[in-house]
Amino acid sequence: MKKRKERIDRGIKARSGDVFTLCSWREMLYLAAPRLLPVIVFLLLPPLLSVYWQKVMISLAVFALLAISWDLLAQSGMISLGQALFFGMGAYLSGIADHYFGLAPLVAIPLASILGGAICTLMLLPVLRLRGIYFSMVTLVIPLMLVRIIEATRIFGGTEGLTGMAPLPSKWVELYLVIIVLLCLLFGFRRMMASDYGLVLKGICDNDRSVTNAGINIYWFKAQALFMAGTVGAFSGACMTHVYLFAGMPVFALDYSILPIAAAVVGGPGSFAGATLGAAILVPLSELLRGIGGLRIVFYGIFLVVFIVALPEGIFHYIQRKYHQFERWVEVEK
């Protein structure tokens, strides 16, 4: 007798979608717990950590932001291989605002974020018509080009970079600024993509011809998604400038392009929560493996491959499925 796996929604899932939610603590908790968990972890964990791990937490939040920004682009049909462009643009703009114009970090960061998002959008505007790998290749090349331009022309400190940036008012401000922005964007983007506007963005990814056929200018919507993703990426770069007190050529490094993609893929693309979860796993893992020296990248790579092969849907989607459904084996008649 053959068997097949059957997945059935839990009773509480069905009840939570109805009026029962309003009159039962259990159903309310069932709905609230997955939403409250990241908020509680991100807000309450930092004071319990050592200074070193607090810095790791900032790095985690920054990569989570980059991964969210990548996920937004991916859901809108643009596979970016150049999150470093957004990150580096924000980092340099914030550095310039501080170094040349003496702006305070709390002014420089939002300014660099918005300006960075706008500049990145303008840079990629001519290639919005490209699809798939062609768009990806352009995003990969631009940050590499910018590094060479800075090196060759020696602008903005050349290979030395810009140093002596003003720090944020305190370590708690730098920590909670990134974390609060991350939480707001995580829930905000999830809500946006569940709206009709988000449906249009997803529609562009699935079948752009059908969206065009509705009289919608897909390039305008893509530009909006690009601006949002660019602003988020630039924000993370701008914050790091005032954490490291430095903005130089390494901000355009390939790490800032590849790690967010790895985080989104390991965590599960298409949900933003997966991207955040992926970053929350990969960034501390990278730090933990630091102790084993040169083989670190090998172990890191093995870990990535195992996760992608074992859970191709992503960790978040796996956990989500287990939370909402139970599985059982049923016999199938031949």
Partner 1 sequence: MNRAPLLQVIELSKSFGGVQAVHFVNFDLHEGELLGVIGPNGSGKTTLVNLITRFVKPSKGEVLYKGRPIQHLAPYEIVRLGIARTFQMVRPFYHLPAYKNMIIPLYSPRVKKLVGGKYGDRNAVALDLLEEVGFERDAFVAYKPAGALPQGYLKRLELAKAIALQPDLMILDELFSGLSLAEVAGMLPIIEKLRLQGKTIIMIEHRLKELFRIADRVLVMNYGEKIADGAPRDVMEQDSVKSAYLGSE
Binding region for partner 1 (CB under 8 A):
196-197, 199-200, 202-203, 206-207, 209-218
Q: Toward partner 1, which CB reaches closer, 196 or 331?
A: 196
| Amino acid identity for residue 37 in this structure | L
Helix, strand and coil content of the chain, in percent to the nearest 5, comes to 75, 5, 20
Q: At its nearest, how many Å lie between partner 1 and the CB of residue 190?
A: 17
Q: Toward partner 1, which CB reaches closer, 202 or 296?
A: 202
Q: At its nearest, how many Å lie between partner 1 and the CB of residue 217?
A: 5
- The answer to whether 280 and 60 have CB atoms below 8 angstroms apart is yes
- The answer to whether 165 and 99 have CB atoms below 8 angstroms apart is yes
Q: Toward partner 1, which CB reaches closer, 210 or 325?
A: 210
E-strand spans in 35-134?
none
Q: Toward partner 1, which CB reaches closer, 199 or 308?
A: 199
Q: Work out whether strand 2-9 and strand 325-332 pair parallel, antiparallel, or are unpaired.
A: antiparallel
Q: At its nearest, how many Å lie between partner 1 and the CB of residue 301?
A: 32
Q: How many CA atoms lie within 13 A of 69 on its CB side?
A: 36
Q: At its nearest, how many Å lie between partner 1 and the CB of residue 191?
A: 16
**Terminal C-alpha separation, the chain:** 7
Q: At its nearest, how many Å lie between partner 1 and the CB of residue 111?
A: 32
Query: Other C-beta atoms within 10 Å of 311: how many?
Result: 16
Q: Toward partner 1, which CB reaches closer, 52 or 220?
A: 220
d(Cα 202, Cα 194) in Å, to the nearest integer? 10
Give the DSSP H or E segment for 5. Answer: strand 2-9
Q: Toward partner 1, which CB reaches closer, 185 or 201?
A: 201
Q: At its nearest, how many Å lie between partner 1 and the CB of residue 160?
A: 47
Q: What are 208's two structure tokens?
A: 């752009």
Q: Toward partner 1, which CB reaches closer, 151 or 206?
A: 206
- The answer to whether 247 and 165 have CB atoms below 8 angstroms apart is yes
Q: At its nearest, how many Å lie between partner 1 and the CB of residue 79?
A: 19
The SS3 call for residue 333 is coil
- Rg, C-alpha atoms of the chain: 21
Q: Toward partner 1, which CB reaches closer, 170 or 213?
A: 213
d(Cα 193, Cα 71) in Å, to the nearest integer? 11
| Of 106, 3, 41, 31, residue with least CA distance to 276 | 41
Q: Toward partner 1, which CB reaches closer, 7 or 35?
A: 7
Q: At its nearest, how many Å lie between partner 1 and the CB of residue 196?
A: 5
Q: At its nearest, how many Å lie between partner 1 and the CB of residue 279?
A: 26
d(Cα 186, Cα 276) in Å, to the nearest integer? 8
